Amino acid sequence: MFRLKPNLLSYEQQQTEATLNDMLDKTFTNNFDLLRHNELPDLRKIYAEMLGKLRRVFSYFKKDQRSQWSEFSSLLADTCPMPKNYRTLSLLAHSFHKNTADQNAWAFNELYSNSLPYHKVSHVLISTVCILMPKTLLSEANSLILFESIDEFVRMKRFENIKLEDIVYRMDMFKVPWLCPHYNHKFHKQIMSRRRKVVALVILFLYNQLIVPIVQYNFYVTDYHKEGNKLFYYSKPIWTLIAHLAITMFSQNNLQPVQFIDNSMSYPQGKLRIMPKKDSFRPIITFNRKAGIDKERANLNQLLQDTQLVLRNLKEIVGVKFGYCVFDNRHISRKYDAFVKKWREQGCPELSFFTLDIMKCYDSISPSKLLDMIKDTPLIEDIYLIIKYQRMYRNKRPLGGQKSL
């Protein structure tokens, strides 16, 4: 079942002045001084028209006696339908304990193969925005540029950003109907700068309040193991089966149920993220949430900084025993240069290379045995003195240093 709750739908059912004022506040925040006196009423009328369309598109109506569908749900179901074997996959996902290892591996691969093509996700977003957005908001020509930016937004890789300036500078500010038509050639730069700032805030409002919430509520976006930063889109029903199968498997082998969680604990709970992987999945747990109820308190990564320093000191003590293992990119060139030097000293003999990967390397580590080894090892002291300092520079030279003539 598809669902959608854009931030715009959090408003009341009736179009009130408070509703429109809230939409304008979210658009311009503290930048109302950018608007001219005759622009605000025109924009308010456009927002009122858009709000009416939004409720019509996302309101449910009875298609038959058993189900309710909205115009958006019909668009989503037609563009991104469920696979024909969805029922079979659902039964396999909910009968993990009865399945063989081959059946679970097949279920994972079959579920992963149902990622949505970029053009289908773009079609859903662009069609929705096209229905909701009045032509008087940006003009028809500028709307096409916005639609192109939505397609670029969907196709972005992980860690990539879309620049608002790139969208606005491709638009024709003189075609925006509700902007003040007054123009003076002497103040061309000031007029264009103001218009672009206003239009940029409107586009940002559409992304934050409509486009991004549609993606969040109807799709799950994730990267794939050994696929770099490429992103994959899954419909929520498909990802629900993937998550259920993965968490069931992960819980059976690695997790224990917790009867009580103290929200005031000094160390926060981790957040589990599932990365698709051939025949299986890769669990990634991050601890970047704040500790306890007080948001001003540090997250777990910050709380464990002292522990990290202790482990770094341990790495330096037993560094020789690590052989050619590296811990960051800087060590690669050092190890490689030392290896090449030793290889040349021995007359450049013929070399053979092989690679290997230990299956479930970290999953197979017993935490209790690891803790016993840490307690018994003489390499870790009971007390550490950690000294933190800051070094200040001026003109790329440390302060307090000797000057050379």
Residue 364 covered by a domain? yes
Task: Give me the phi and psi of 209, to 5 degrees please.
Answer: -100, -10
| Percent of the chain residues past pLDDT 70, beyond the cut | 82
Residue 282 lies in a domain: no
More confident position, 45 or 330? 45
Give the span between the Cα atoms of 127 and 74, in whole angstroms: 12
Q: pLDDT exceeding 90 applies to what percent of the chain?
A: 30
User: Domain for residue 404, yes or no?
Assistant: no
Whether 302 and 288 have beta carbons less than 8 Å apart is answered as no
Residue 65 lies in a domain: yes
* Backbone phi, psi, residue 285, to 5°: -110, 125
Dump pLDDT digits (tens) for 115-140: 999 999 999 999 999 998 998 999 99
- Same domain (yes/no): 202, 321: no
pLDDT of residue 25: 82
pLDDT digits (tens, 9 = 90+) for 177-226: 898 777 667 777 888 888 899 999 999 999 988 899 999 989 999 999 88
Whether residue 2 has pLDDT greater than 70: no
Q: Which domain holds residue 207?
A: 7-219
Number of domains the chain contains: 2
In a domain, 247, yes or no: no
Q: Quick one: 97 and 197 in the same domain?
A: yes
Of the listed ranges 12-26, 203-217, 367-381, the least confidently predicted one is 12-26
**Residue 98 in contact with residue 150, Cβ under 8 Å?**
no
Q: What pLDDT is stored for residue 31 in this prediction?
A: 80
Residue 121 has a pLDDT of 96
What CATH number did the domain enclosing 109 receive? 1.10.132.70
Q: Is residue 384 part of a domain?
A: no
- The pLDDT, as a whole number, for residue 276 is 93
The confidence band for 402, taking pLDDT boundaries of 50, 70 and 90, is very low
Nearest alpha carbon to residue 137 among 146, 126, 150: 146
**Residue 111 maps to a domain:** yes
Tell me the β-bridge partners of 284: 273
Separation CA 361–CA 105 (nearest Å): 19
Cβ(132)–Cβ(50) under 8 Å?
yes
Comparison of pLDDT for 155 and 288, the residue scoring more: 155
The residue-averaged pLDDT of 295-308 equals 72
Regarding whether 315 and 191 lie in a shared domain, the answer is no
- CB-CB contact of 53 with 59 (8 Å): no
Picking from 219, 238, 262, the residue at the C-terminal end of a domain is 219
**Half-sphere exposure of residue 174, counting CA atoms within 13 Å on the CB side?**
4
Please state the φ and ψ torsions of residue 297, each to the nearest 5 degrees: -75, 155
CA gap 180, 40 in Å, rounded: 10
CA distance 248 to 245: 5
* Pair 224, 216: CB distance under 8 Å: no
Cβ–Cβ < 8 Å for 380, 310: yes
Q: Which of 165, 193, 219 is the last residue of a domain?
A: 219
Predicted local distance difference test score (pLDDT) of residue 8: 59
Of 64, 73, 13, 23, nearest to 236 by C-alpha is 73
* 260 inside domain: no
Which of 116-120, 296-300, 358-362 is predicted least confidently? 296-300
Q: Give me the phi and psi of 244, to 5 degrees please.
A: -65, -45
Find the mean pLDDT for residues 256-266.
Answer: 63
Supply the pTM of this predicted model: 0.78
